[in-house]
């Protein structure tokens, strides 16, 4: 079930109405049943995996809490092995097979590892990471084990964040299931507003440009520089609006029910460096990787080379988390390299700015930094989207010269002149609104006038109706 | 900050804290609940008022929509009313279904003229629906109204909708559902397109009147309609060297070649054809030359699927390839092109009919 479908709208209205009528355990049971139903709309049989993860980690958490040192480690190992094993079995087995085969050939073995026909369960990487954070935190004594299975099952399967995050932490989400959430008017209002904003980004912007991006990236050799550049810029727009839109909807509907989820995006395209970009993009994943991969890799003794190595390894793993492909890993390593270079040249750049007298023009410097960061991000998106290194390299090396762009190509991708103009206007508006969100002190006074605010909400609702794409494919991050 | 504002902020903070710890007195808690209901009711009320406003606007100005949409509505209307074939015409009834390519490609007058020159009387109707593929339902409705054709020409496979309610997928097609509950969904885009197009067609008032006449003209032409608003080149002809980056001259177009093997529509189509003894043929649609490669003379796989599941015969290739000069836009034929396409279709059907007799 997609958040941007009528099926979900009906499901949520029914679920929320019942939710408001119930209290205590029946309310939680309702939430859990609704969450399982939500997942089963995608696949009925794979719900067994969710049950499996839930039971294993629930028992592991209890055992870790009450066991001695050696056994604690064993239960943690067991839990991690199950979670990672599940990920490997469903997501990486073919990838490893395909990667090992050439090595075997190189070593003179003529045996091919057969590929398996496996369908990746929806959002597997999200809920396994969330489940792992629970057992690790219990092991590190940062969180108590959850004794109530119903609460723990909700922690794993809570439908707003089940299939594409945010990846929650036990200390933040689990306590919220211990008591009935307070449904407050201001939270309901802000929850619906955020949901609406997410729908706007997903349906009006991301899905409108998706077809053009797809058309060009499926066959980059057929297009000139201008088309490749436009498609690359549009993909950057699409992936941001798609995923941050999803996160907004998830946060919004959870808040309407009285739960708070982690913020996942903080206007990442306004970042002035790649390091800053990663502190604003998919925050729940990057903080997960920071806490459970980067910091353990760094260990006790902090040294610059070890820091650089840890950054590259962590971001390489972050890339691989997105999908079982060397292209994703390459994207991650590329970002890691950006951060390392950025860090290593920080002093030099500061001196250069000072020598050129640019410090007197902080706005110019900021705009340049945002533009440069954005360009580097887009360069990495090329490999992320291209699918193969050949295609990615081709696109990268053929962006210029731009050549001629025939605007008649837009209608082929369901984006005619009028639609294209509106998408442009909405994009500028979207970034404007996001800028205000990042700078709340600059929000115009008109926003505090109820009539104006409600007019904006209704404009947003009807923009979705008038310009939204209905019935489009899933959110991009569902595949991860 | 003013004193009153500070006081308000203080009150809000206290209320916020009180609400969080559950210290709100009963009366306040009730008012919160009442406010919640009021918020929901007001939100729905505002939404409904706007819905009504836009609905009224779109109903009041139906001819702001693109010509193809006006034509679609008019065509749907006469098919629902059973007025496609006049009762006093003694000729074979022929109907061709398809999308906008059929709409702009098949000229019934031309087809009937060719039939007449071969001494057979045919009354044909073009039932091309732009952007829609619900021909099975339309055919069923026509047949039930006593308007079943003798010859049925199809260019598109059936939809894959299955009967019955699936609790995991209640709505099915969101796009269709959205268009049903928000019939004015394209209003703003239509108005802008209308205003842009009206600049070259004598202004909004004249263009609106011309759009009004469009439906009648299409009915006079028995379903044929030339989509003028997409035409951007002189004499409604693309240049002969016209090429898009998206073109795949080395690839055979295959997106329409694999029909769903099981569906409710397939059963309905089969029943209708059998019950009303309709001669059914799958005929080629068309593509711009160099947009795709030339298909083989017959798509054996497609023919096997169609002929194995329907009492229909597949005639000719999956599509004809025509030079850009025969097109008025990237997808649709101009009038000259439409003549050639109609003649090609006639040729295939006539040969098949002659073979039968």
* pLDDT by residue, tens only, chain A of 480 residues: 888 889 999 999 999 999 988 888 999 999 999 999 999 988 888 899 999 999 999 999 999 998 877 788 899 999 999 999 988 888 887 777 777 777 777 777 777 666 677 777 888 888 889 999 999 999 999 999 999 999 999 999 999 998 887 999 999 999 999 988 888 888 898 999 999 999 999 999 999 998 889 888 888 888 888 889 999 999 999 999 999 999 999 999 999 999 999 999 999 999 999 999 999 999 999 999 999 999 888 877 778 888 899 999 999 999 988 887 888 889 999 999 999 999 999 999 999 988 988 888 889 999 999 999 999 999 999 999 988 889 999 999 998 877 766 666 666 656 777 888 899 999 999 999 988 888 888 888 888 888 899 999 999 999 999 999 988 666 665 555
- Are the beta carbons of A222 and B247 separated by less than 8 Å? yes
Q: Name the residue range of residue A217's domain.
A: 185-265+406-477
Q: Say whether both A276 and A362 belong to one domain.
A: yes
**Among B246, B247, B248, B251, which would you mutate to test the A interface (most chain A Cβ atoms within 10 Å of its Cβ)?**
B246
pLDDT at B94 over 70: yes
- Residue in A with minimal Cα distance to B250: A222
Query: Looking at residue B302, what is its pLDDT?
Result: 84
Integer Cα distance of A395 and B181 in angstroms: 42
Our count of domains for chain A comes to 3
Distance from CA of A34 to the nearest CA of B (A): 12
Q: Say whether both A342 and A442 belong to one domain.
A: no
Contact A458, B46 (CB under 8 A): yes
Q: The tokens 């310009």 sit on which residue?
A: A467
Pick from A397, A429, A458: which residue ends a domain?
A: A397
Q: The tokens 């990838």 sit on which residue?
A: A95
- Are the beta carbons of B168 and A419 separated by less than 8 Å? no
Catalytic residue among A117, A127, A147, A322: A322
Query: Looking at residue B22, what is its pLDDT?
Result: 46
Q: Say whether both A261 and A273 belong to one domain.
A: no
Q: Among partner residues A40, A224, A466, which is closest to B245 by beta-carbon distance? A: A224
Query: Looking at residue B341, what is its pLDDT?
Result: 95
Measured in degrees and rounded to the nearest 5, phi and psi for residue B292 equal -145, 165
| Structure-model confidence comparison of residues A461 and B250, the more confident one | A461
Q: Among partner residues B39, B170, B187, which is closest to A189 by beta-carbon distance? A: B39
Distance from CA of B283 to the nearest CA of A (A): 24
Q: Which residues of B touch A44 (CB under 8 A)?
A: 168
Query: Looking at residue A43, what is its pLDDT?
Result: 84
Q: Among partner residues B35, B174, B245, which is closest to A406 by beta-carbon distance? A: B245
| B279-282 sheet: strands from edge to edge | B122-128, B92-98, B151-154, B279-282, B312-314
Contact B105, B333 (CB under 8 A): yes
Q: What is the pLDDT of residues B44-69, one digit of tens each?
A: 999 999 999 999 999 998 888 887 78
Q: The tokens 């993860």 sit on which residue?
A: A53
Mean pLDDT lowest among A3-12, B159-168, B326-335? B159-168
In order of A104, A132, A145, the CA distances from A72 in angstroms are: 38, 14, 12
Q: What is the pLDDT of residues B215-248, one digit of tens each?
A: 888 888 888 988 877 777 878 888 888 888 778 8
Structure tokens given for A155: 């922690």
Distance from CA of A313 to the nearest CA of B (A): 39
Integer Cα distance of B158 and B267 in angstroms: 10
**3-state percent breakdown (helix, strand, coil) of chain A, nearest 5:** 75, 0, 25
Beta strand ranges found along A153-296 (DSSP E) = none
Q: Say whether both A291 and A384 belong to one domain.
A: yes
A 27-56 residues inside an 8 A Cβ radius of B = 37, 40-41, 44
* A469 part of a folded domain: yes
- 3-state SS, residue A36: helix
Q: Which stretch of DSSP H or E encloses residue B281?
A: strand B279-282
* A278 part of a folded domain: yes
Integer Cα distance of A291 and A294 in angstroms: 6
Measured in degrees and rounded to the nearest 5, phi and psi for residue A386 equal -65, -30
pLDDT at B322 over 70: yes
Integer Cα distance of A342 and A324 in angstroms: 28
Q: Among partner residues B36, B173, B189, which is closest to A419 by beta-carbon distance? A: B189
- Are the beta carbons of A222 and B186 separated by less than 8 Å? no
Q: CA angle A454-A460-A464, nearest 5°?
A: 150
Query: Looking at residue A409, what is its pLDDT?
Result: 64
Q: Which CATH number is correct for B63-356, 3.40.50, 1.10.3470, 1.10.8, 1.10.10?
A: 3.40.50
Q: Among partner residues A222, A462, A471, which is closest to B246 by beta-carbon distance? A: A222
- Are the beta carbons of A219 and B35 separated by less than 8 Å? no
Distance from CA of A429 to the nearest CA of B (A): 18
Using alpha carbons, select from A369, A346, A339 the residue that is nearest to residue A275: A339
Q: What is the pLDDT of residues B284-313, one digit of tens each?
A: 999 998 889 988 888 888 888 888 888 999
* A361 part of a folded domain: yes
- Note whether B55 contacts A: Cβ–Cβ < 8 A: no
Integer Cα distance of B228 and B158 in angstroms: 28
Q: Which residues of A touch B186 (CB under 8 A)?
A: 466
Q: Say whether both A273 and A381 belong to one domain.
A: yes
Q: Say whether both A70 and A130 belong to one domain.
A: yes
Task: Check whether the bond before A367 is cis (ω within 30° of 0).
Answer: no
Up-side HSE of residue B257: CA atoms within 13 Å toward CB? 16
Distance from CA of B357 to the nearest CA of A (A): 43
| Structure-model confidence comparison of residues B88 and A336, the more confident one | A336
| Sign of the C-alpha dihedral computed for residues B254, B255, B259 and B262 taken in this order | positive
Q: Among partner residues B168, B244, B329, which is closest to A409 by beta-carbon distance? A: B244
For chain B, where are the alpha helices, taking DSSP H only?
Answer: 3-21, 26-60, 67-81, 100-105, 108-117, 135-144, 174-181, 187-198, 203-220, 264-275, 300-309, 335-356
Pick from A146, A177, A208: which residue ends a domain?
A: A177
Structure tokens given for B88: 């006093």
Distance from CA of A462 to the nearest CA of B (A): 9
Structure tokens given for A251: 């946060």
* A274 part of a folded domain: yes
- Are the beta carbons of A188 and B232 separated by less than 8 Å? no
Contact B299, B318 (CB under 8 A): yes
Distance from CA of B33 to the nearest CA of A (A): 8
Query: Looking at residue A473, what is its pLDDT?
Result: 64
Q: Say whether both A273 and A233 belong to one domain.
A: no
Q: Say whether both A228 and A322 belong to one domain.
A: no
A 436-465 residues inside an 8 A Cβ radius of B = 454, 458, 461-462, 465
Query: Looking at residue B23, what is its pLDDT?
Result: 47
pLDDT averaged over every residue in chain B: 83
Rounded to two decimals, what is the model's pTM? 0.81
What's the mean pLDDT in B108-134? 87
Size of interface A-B (CB pairs under 8 A): 93
Contact B63, B193 (CB under 8 A): no
Q: Say whether both A212 and A101 belong to one domain.
A: no
CB atoms within 10 A of CB B143: 19
**Among B49, B58, B245, B291, which would you mutate to test the A interface (most chain A Cβ atoms within 10 Å of its Cβ)?**
B245
Q: Which residues of B touch A419 (CB under 8 A)?
A: 189
- Are the beta carbons of A6 and B19 separated by less than 8 Å? no
CB atoms within 10 A of CB A299: 10
Contact B334, B231 (CB under 8 A): yes
B 158-197 residues inside an 8 A Cβ radius of A = 168-171, 173-178, 182, 185-189, 192-193, 196
Task: Check whether the bond before A166 is cis (ω within 30° of 0).
Answer: yes
Integer Cα distance of B83 and B146 in angstroms: 10
Q: Say whether both A81 and A164 belong to one domain.
A: yes
Structure tokens given for A173: 């989400």
Integer Cα distance of A397 and A349 in angstroms: 27
Q: Which stretch of DSSP H or E encloses residue B93?
A: strand B92-98
C-alpha A13 chain-centroid distance: 25
In order of A335, A460, B70, B201, the CA distances from B65 in angstroms are: 48, 23, 6, 15
Q: Say whether both A300 and A387 belong to one domain.
A: yes
- Are the beta carbons of A466 and B186 separated by less than 8 Å? yes
Structure tokens given for A174: 């689990």
| Structure-model confidence comparison of residues B340 and A321, the more confident one | B340
**A147 has catalytic annotation:** no
Query: Looking at residue A408, what is its pLDDT?
Result: 64
Query: Looking at residue A14, what is its pLDDT?
Result: 93
Integer Cα distance of A383 and A79 in angstroms: 34
Contact A80, A132 (CB under 8 A): yes
Residue A275 DSSP symbol: H
In order of A193, A267, B125, B357, the CA distances from A4 in angstroms are: 15, 22, 39, 55
- Residue in B with minimal Cα distance to A222: B245
- Are the beta carbons of A406 and B32 separated by less than 8 Å? no
| Structure-model confidence comparison of residues B101 and B7, the more confident one | B101
- Are the beta carbons of A471 and B186 separated by less than 8 Å? no
Q: Which residues of A touch B68 (CB under 8 A)?
A: none
Structure tokens given for A196: 């609406």
- Are the beta carbons of A40 and B32 separated by less than 8 Å? no
pLDDT at B16 over 70: no
Q: Say whether both A16 and A162 belong to one domain.
A: yes
Which residues sit opposite A334 in a β-bridge?
none
Contact A335, A380 (CB under 8 A): yes
């Amino acid at each position: 079930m997609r958040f941007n479908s009528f099926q979900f709208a009906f499901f949520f209205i029914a679920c929320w109405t019942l939710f408001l009528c119930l209290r205590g355990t029946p309310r939680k049971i309702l939430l859990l049943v609704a969450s399982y139903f939500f997942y089963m709309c995608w696949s009925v049989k794979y719900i067994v995996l969710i049950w499996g993860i839930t039971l294993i980690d629930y028992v592991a958490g209890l055992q870790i809490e009450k066991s001695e040192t050696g056994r604690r480690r064993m239960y943690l190992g067991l839990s991690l092995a199950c979670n990672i094993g599940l990920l490997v079995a469903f997501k990486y087995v073919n990838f490893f097979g395909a990667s090992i085969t050439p090595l075997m050939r190189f070593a003179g073995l003529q045996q091919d590892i057969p590929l398996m026909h496996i369908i990746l369960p929806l959002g597997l990487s999200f809920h396994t990471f969330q489940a792992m954070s629970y057992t690790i935190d219990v092991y590190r004594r940062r969180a108590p084990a959850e004794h109530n299975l119903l609460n723990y099952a909700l922690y794993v399967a809570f439908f707003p964040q089940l299939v594409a995050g945010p990846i929650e932490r036990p200390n933040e989400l689990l306590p919220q299931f211990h008591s009935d959430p307070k449904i407050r008017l201001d939270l309901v209002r802000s929850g619906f507003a955020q949901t609406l904003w997410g729908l706007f980004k997903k349906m009006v912007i991301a899905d409108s440009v998706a077809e053009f991006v797809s058309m060009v990236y499926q066959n980059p050799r057929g297009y000139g520089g201008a088309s490749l550049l436009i498609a690359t810029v549009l993909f950057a727009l699409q992936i941001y609006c798609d995923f941050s839109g999803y996160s907004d909807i998830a946060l919004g509907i959870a808040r309407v029910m009285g739960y708070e989820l982690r913020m996942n995006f903080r206007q990442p395209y306004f970042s002035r460096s790649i390091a800053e970009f990663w502190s604003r993009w998919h925050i729940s994943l990057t903080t997960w990787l920071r806490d459970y991969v980067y910091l353990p890799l760094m260990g006790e003794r902090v040294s610059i080379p070890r820091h650089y190595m840890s950054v590259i390894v962590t971001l390489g793993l972050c890339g691989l988390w997105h999908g079982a492909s060397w292209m994703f890993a390459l994207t991650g390593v590329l970002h890691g390299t950006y951060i390392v270079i950025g860090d290593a040249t920080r002093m030099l750049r500061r001196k250069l700015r000072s020598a050129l007298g640019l410090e007197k023009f902080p706005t110019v410097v900021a705009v340049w930094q945002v533009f440069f960061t954005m360009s580097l991000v887009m360069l990495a998106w090329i490999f992320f989207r291209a699918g193969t290194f050949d295609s990615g390299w081709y696109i990268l090396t053929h962006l210029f010269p731009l050549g001629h762009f025939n605007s008649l190509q837009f209608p082929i991708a369901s984006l005619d002149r009028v639609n294209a103009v509106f998408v442009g206007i909405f994009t500028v508006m979207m970034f404007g609104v996001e800028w205000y969100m990042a700078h709340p002190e600059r929000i115009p006074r008109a926003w505090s006038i109820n009539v104006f605010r409600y007019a904006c909400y209704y404009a947003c609702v009807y923009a979705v109706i008038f310009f939204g794409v209905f019935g489009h494919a899933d959110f991009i991050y569902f595949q991860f | 900050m003013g004193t009153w504002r500070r006081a308000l902020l203080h009150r809000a903070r206290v209320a916020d804290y009180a609400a969080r710890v559950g210290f709100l007195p009963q009366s306040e808690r009730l008012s919160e609940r009442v406010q919640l209901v009021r918020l929901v009711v007001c939100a729905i009320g505002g939404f409904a008022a706007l819905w009504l406003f836009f609905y009224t606007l779109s109903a009041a100005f139906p001819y702001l929509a693109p010509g193809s949409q006006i034509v679609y509505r008019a065509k749907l209307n006469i098919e629902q009313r059973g007025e496609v074939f006049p009762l006093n015409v003694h000729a074979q009834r022929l109907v061709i279904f398809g999308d906008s390519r059929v709409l702009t490609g098949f000229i019934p007058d031309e087809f009937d003229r060719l039939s007449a020159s071969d001494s057979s009387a045919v009354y044909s109707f073009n039932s091309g629906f732009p952007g829609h593929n619900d021909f099975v339902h339309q055919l069923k409705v026509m047949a039930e109204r006593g308007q079943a054709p003798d010859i049925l020409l199809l260019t598109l496979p059936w939809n894959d909708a299955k009967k019955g309610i699936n609790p995991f997928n209640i709505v099915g097609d969101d796009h269709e559902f959205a268009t049903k509950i928000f019939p004015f969904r394209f209003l703003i885009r239509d108005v802008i397109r209308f205003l842009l197009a009206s600049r070259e067609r004598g202004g909004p008032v004249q263009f609106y009147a011309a759009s009004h006449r469009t439906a009648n003209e299409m009915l006079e032409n028995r379903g044929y309609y030339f989509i003028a608003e997409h035409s951007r080149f002189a004499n409604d002809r693309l240049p002969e060297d016209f090429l898009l980056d998206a073109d795949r001259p080395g690839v055979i177009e295959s997106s329409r070649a694999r029909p769903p093997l099981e569906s409710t529509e397939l059963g309905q189509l089969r029943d209708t054809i059998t019950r009303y003894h309709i001669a059914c043929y799958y005929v080629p649609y068309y593509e711009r030359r160099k947009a795709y490669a030339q298909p083989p003379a017959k798509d054996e796989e497609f023919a096997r699927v169609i002929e194995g599941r329907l009492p229909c015969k597949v005639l000719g290739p999956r599509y004809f390839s025509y030079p850009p000069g025969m097109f008025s836009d990237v997808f649709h034929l101009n009038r000259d092109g439409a003549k050639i396409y109609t003649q090609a279709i006639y040729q295939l059907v006539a040969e098949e009919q002659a073979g039968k007799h």
